[in-house]
Structure 1
Amino acid sequence: MHLRLAIAALTWCIPTALVPAADLVLRGGKIVTVDPQFRIVQAMAVHDGRIVALGTDEQIAPQIDQQTQIVDLDGRMVLPGLIDSHVHPTGASQYEADHEIPPMETIDDVLSYVRARAAVVPKGEWIVLQQVFITRLREQRFPTRAELDSVAPEHPVWFRTGPDGSANSLALAENGIDRAFAAKHPDQVAVDPASGEPSGVIRRSSSIFKTRSDKSRKSLSQDERDDRLVELLEDYNRWGITGIIDRNCSDSARAQYARLLEANRLTTRVRLSRSLSPGDDLTQIDQRLDEITADPLFKQPDPRLGVIGVKVFEDGGMLTGSAYFTRPWGTSTIYGIVDSRYRGMQFIDDDRLEQLVRRCASRGLAFTAHCQGDAAVEALVDAYARVDQEIPIGPTRSSITHSSFMSPKAIAGAAKLGVGVDLQPAWLYLDARTLVAQFGSERLTHFIPLRSLFAAGVVAGGGSDHMQKIGSLRSVNPYNPFLGMWVAVTRTARWHDEPIHREQALTREQMIRFYTINNAWLMRAEDEIGSLEVGKRADFVVVDRDLLRCSDDEIRDALVESTWLDGRPVYQSQP
């Protein structure tokens, strides 16, 4: 480490004969290093996949010989390779293998899709539509049981959005969910206030509601699954993404990444938060954690693939009506909430959460939990604080996943403990209109509180929670990093007139750190990637505009001209 810094000092001043001739030189550009000083230089030299010199064109010129590839930037901007702190690529890449899922912005769009599926799916087979969030429908509500019945009377139908969803009559009947069942499960089964009959809306559905697979759907071979994952990773490259964290990686997904690594088909650096079932017996949990820590990809990660820790789910969803809050949700026609005392759902109690954190920290695993509501976030920060008295949490790179609603107390606690956060700014754009309608503006003061996190010194990283479809804007959720940057700077919400607490917006410099060095920290890889410094890997992206000076609205329309990993192009735009 000290040698790399010493070489850096030399090459920032005067390139010397000690620096090898470059394989690649970029010159005549605006190269944003994202180093601690956020220095910007004209030129960069790369040898054997690593950066060997940075400076002016004149300073880098001695590193050029007859074999050097030269890229004349003509003033274009270069950024470190962009990183997404939260994706689910293996499932997302397979989602439309059977048929294309059209975009849906209204209840009519949903019903049209179900009607079309009912025409081709055999009667009695299930129709399941996943992750069309009610916050993104103009009507801002679940489709009703009756509406789903009207378009598919002979099929069980499940409109699933995360842990919650809406079912039609056949789906409820197959699961034995009737008026008596609803009375015994009031927190999970919503009812019509007048009749007491189930409305179709079910919370935390996995514990009481099961579906059957549609036997008519296409089944992919292993090679086909791998090809589709490669297609998705290449689209990540198209948008400048050179690193990702898979947040809930199963055994089969880990094996799939390993196959691509062995075949030299991984075009992004991948770090894995392994899946963990928090309700298992503690002996089973210990066995699972021992297996994860015994994984060679945890002990000594490959530069392109490694394991960093585990992920669990602490509460439900803000998009679906089950996030765990300190204050009640309030009755709601949007979410089908009739109990004025309802605060959402905490999936893991405080004692078990602390046990899980302690077991992971003692093994050096980065722990994280899905936390949407402020009460869930505070519960996790408190668990970290209790464990930190015995085992330092900061060195584990543990984090809070989503942390959409926070409090000043939680932000201060995360800063003190050295806990990172993984946030999804596109949710502000897509969902804040509905959240304002439900909660009012005041409760959104610390919704995706980016400026407060940066000011407190919390390492906050930008992610997408990409779950389905290939395509940076058509995906659920959109993984276009420039959309995320634009939202982080403007706090703009779709179908809403005013920015959402503009005081929480990031500066341009912070916006870039949010998708580069901060996410490298969450990947446990900031010594190798995330900034353009001497000795680091040459992961970078050439963009078509100056993101530090362009207008706010131009940020979201930025295009990538080329993406490089280890000094080699993994994407180049067509002229």
Structure 2
Amino acid sequence: MNRTCCAALIGCLVFVLAGNAPAAANPPDLILHNGKIVTADKVFSVVAAIAVRGGRIVATGADAEVLAGKGDATKVVDLRGKMVLPGLIDSHVHPRAAMFEFDHDVPDMESIADVLAYVRDRAAKLGDGKWISVQQVFITRLKEQRYPARAELDQAAPKNPVLFSTGPDASLNSLALKLSDIDENWKVTDGGPGYAEKDPATGELTGILRGCMRYVKSQSSSKKATEDDIYSRTLALFRDYNANGITAVADRSADPSAVTRYTKMRDTGDLPVRMSLSFNIATIGELSAIQDRIRKLADHPLRKDDPMLKLVGIKTFLDGGMLTGSAYMRKPWGVSKIYSITDPDYRGVLLIPKERVYPLVRAAIETGLQFTAHSVGDGAVEILIDAYEQAAKDLGVEKVRATRPCITHSNFMGDDLVRRMPALGIVADIQPVWLYLDTRTLQAQFGYDRLRYFQPLKSLFDAGAIAGGGSDHMQKIGAMRAVNHYDPFLGMWVTVSRKARWHDGQLHPEEALSREQMIRFYTNNNAQIIFRDHQIGSLEAGKLADMIVVDRNLLTCPEDDIRETKVLQTYLGGKLVYDRK
């Protein structure tokens, strides 16, 4: 019997033994009542009261039924009509974001002028010769919608090497190119992807590197953090997740040092969010050695079913990004001033050669690990689905389904790709904030019609595929300061409105979710994606009591009010971990 069935059976037994309310002889620790409690169960029940004992839900139902079981020591909270939701889940974060401003505060940058002002300021403070790094300021989010030019970076900091990096792509000034030994004759030699872009008219380097940021010989100019610094700032980030209603996350690029840190947090009782981990696996090098690294993870101590910390699989990077002009597409991008694309046949960058994808997927599935890959363009999505289908032929459909094969980002799709996912249990980890932040640029590049299947959420739901909401939070602490924003209520609003910043109208409103679906997107569905649906994702007897109280009725409030939602209290296993005073 699988774990999901066991959890369901336990929940049923609780009700059978206790009736509609907890037994008076074994009263609950906590009762919330007089509310609108969205259980997010199969029929999406909304009830008035919920009871918790020992960190788990023991009953939900009408006020009188649940309150009848209270004891002398039961804490009773009158919700005064407020709404309760299951604790929200973010299926894609990078907690190292907590360290981004450890050295100094980094301003928001919305224009080339902002970028250059920051570079000049850093040059003045650091002195000549020190590296200046501008990270993850995406050109799609700059008003000019382009990379800062090599000459502009030269002028802003002529005596400093400057790196403007956005994922696998980057723009460098002349000194940074020189120190990295990159000139007009330079070529990639490690067997991996990428190239240095040249001006087609002059043959000179533009300063833009595509898919090969690994060759930049940058050096940190920031002060070095101690492990205590990292530990405390990571905890501060996790507590801010709690303040935004988030009780579980997936670290989608975990490394050994982070795992050691999370384990210490768990063992000392500090960890305030449930964590599922995808280990980052580098894919350049001997294929058999990479497969061996994947297989060894199957024996990792965190593979056991721990309610707070669990290794669920591996993460790789299959293509570039839509934010940098390197996502791998089925059709050419098209010549573009925005992305500095001059080749009419350019389709983006594949970071893993197509013939190497299936061996990596198979190694993960054979050992029961979830495989996911950063796959933004529809060309990359198609390659990954092809690999999952090949695994099903070779290993059996149920073997594949058991690992919940994942596609991370899955932004550009097609109806044919959506329809292929449910049969193999392929799940999608999607970031609605990208629609909010980047639609203006994407529509300028591709046009409205080509974006028909950009984040096709309703199509995925209608097809029976599991899609869940992540943020891809990469930098800064603060839900709306972060790159990318990790406010889940902004994400919910985007899923139902299909509206974007600096853009009039809606992006294909036929792909908008209903209110019920938007809640499932951040609860049940994400719980399935990160292998915690037997524990969390709905408020049902037998499950862990992760829940939040919010300040408005998300099922009936005006649509634009959804994004303004505030969390009043957050409970993790029935314990209050955030209280908005």
TM-score range, shorter chain: over 0.9
In structure 1, distance between residues paired with 2:93 and 2:447: 30
Q: CA deviation at 1:174?
A: 1.5
Contact 1:426 1:464 in 2 (8 A): yes
The match for 2:207 is: 200
Matched, 1:542 2:562: no
Aligned residue type for 2:507: I
Matched, 1:291 2:303: no
Matched, 1:237 2:267: no
In structure 2, distance between residues paired with 1:227 and 1:336: 41
Pick from 288, 305, 310 the counterpart of residue 309 of structure 2: 305
In structure 1, distance between residues paired with 2:181 and 2:145: 28
**Larger deviation: 285-294 or 78-87?**
285-294
Pick from 344, 350, 356 the counterpart of residue 346 of structure 1: 350
CA 1:265–1:236: 2 relative to 1, 3 Å:
same
The match for 1:281 is: 286
**1:86-124: per-residue Cα shift (whole Å, max 9, x none)?**
0000x2011100000000101000000000000011311
Contact 1:247 1:311 in 2 (8 A): yes
Pick from 93, 102, 114 the counterpart of residue 119 of structure 2: 114
Contact 1:272 1:306 in 2 (8 A): yes
Pick from 89, 92, 96 the counterpart of residue 97 of structure 2: 92
The match for 2:61 is: 55
Q: CA deviation at 1:236?
A: 0.2
The match for 1:378 is: 382
Contact 1:316 1:322 in 2 (8 A): yes
Aligned residue type for 2:34: G
Matched, 1:390 2:394: yes
In structure 1, distance between residues paired with 2:466 and 2:25: 33
**1:10-65: per-residue Cα shift (whole Å, max 9, x none)?**
48973263883110000000000000010000000000000001100011122111
**1:172-199: per-residue Cα shift (whole Å, max 9, x none)?**
1112222233799996222223211111
The match for 2:268 is: 263
Q: CA deviation at 1:510?
A: 0.3
Q: CA deviation at 1:369?
A: 0.4
Contact 1:182 1:190 in 2 (8 A): no
In structure 2, distance between residues paired with 1:147 and 1:535: 60
TM-score w.r.t. the length of structure 1 is: 0.97
Aligned residue type for 1:261: R
The match for 1:496 is: 503
The match for 2:483 is: 476
The match for 1:32 is: 38
**1:152-185: per-residue Cα shift (whole Å, max 9, x none)?**
0000001001111111010111122222337999
**1:250-305: per-residue Cα shift (whole Å, max 9, x none)?**
1111111111112211000001000111223233223322331111111x132111
Matched, 1:80 2:102: no
The match for 2:3 is: none
The match for 1:136 is: 141
CA 1:114–1:101: 2 relative to 1, 3 Å:
same
Contact 1:489 1:506 in 2 (8 A): yes
Structure 1 unmatched runs, 5+? none
Q: CA deviation at 1:326?
A: 0.6
Instruction: Give the percent of matched residue pairs that are identical in Structure 1 and Structure 2.
Output: 49
SS at structure 1 position matched to 2:379:
helix
CA 1:407–1:18: 2 relative to 1, 3 Å:
farther
**Larger deviation: 259-268 or 6-15?**
6-15
Aligned residue type for 2:368: G
Q: CA deviation at 1:352?
A: 1.1
Q: CA deviation at 1:229?
A: 0.2
Pick from 363, 369, 386 the counterpart of residue 367 of structure 2: 363
Q: CA deviation at 1:132?
A: 0.2
In structure 1, distance between residues paired with 2:9 and 2:155: 70
The match for 2:339 is: 335
Q: CA deviation at 1:200?
A: 1.1
The match for 1:64 is: 70
| Total equivalences in the alignment | 570
CA 1:352–1:183: 2 relative to 1, 3 Å:
closer
The match for 1:6 is: 12
Q: CA deviation at 1:493?
A: 1.1
Contact 1:182 1:198 in 2 (8 A): no
Aligned residue type for 1:42: A
* Aligned-CA RMSD value: 1.7
Structure 2 unmatched runs, 5+? 1-5
The match for 1:162 is: 167
Aligned residue type for 2:474: M
The match for 2:217 is: 210
